[in-house]
Structure 1
Amino acid sequence: MSVKGSLELIFVCLLFLTMPTLDKTYLFIYLFSVFFIKNGG
């Protein structure tokens, strides 16, 4: 994993911990779509 990817992961984890529970659902959907697009090319 690249440094940029690691920083993104840390940033996302911090957001995940500070967000209300309801927003975590939307964050998960957002992350899934982002990683799917990245892996899909």
Structure 2
Amino acid sequence: MFSIKLKGKIKESPFNKRALLFGELSQIAYYTETEVKKLA
């Protein structure tokens, strides 16, 4: 039972990190796009 929980946590953490990273990248892309529109 404990090993299953541990494996679940290991599986979850990289996904959460990837989701955060992707979220940050998309946010940066969105902001740079709006900045370019403001300058143009």
- Pairwise CA RMSD: 1.5
Instruction: Identify, as 1 or 2, the structure richer in helix.
Output: 2
Q: Normalization by structure 2: what TM-score? A: 0.51
Match of 1:32 in 2: 17
Q: Normalization by structure 1: what TM-score? A: 0.50
Name stretches of at least 5 consecutive residues in structure 2 with no aligned partner. Answer: 27-40
* Runs of 4+ that moved beyond 3 A: none
Aligned length: 23
Bigger Cα Rg: 2
Name stretches of at least 5 consecutive residues in structure 1 with no aligned partner. Answer: 1-18
Match of 1:20 in 2: 5
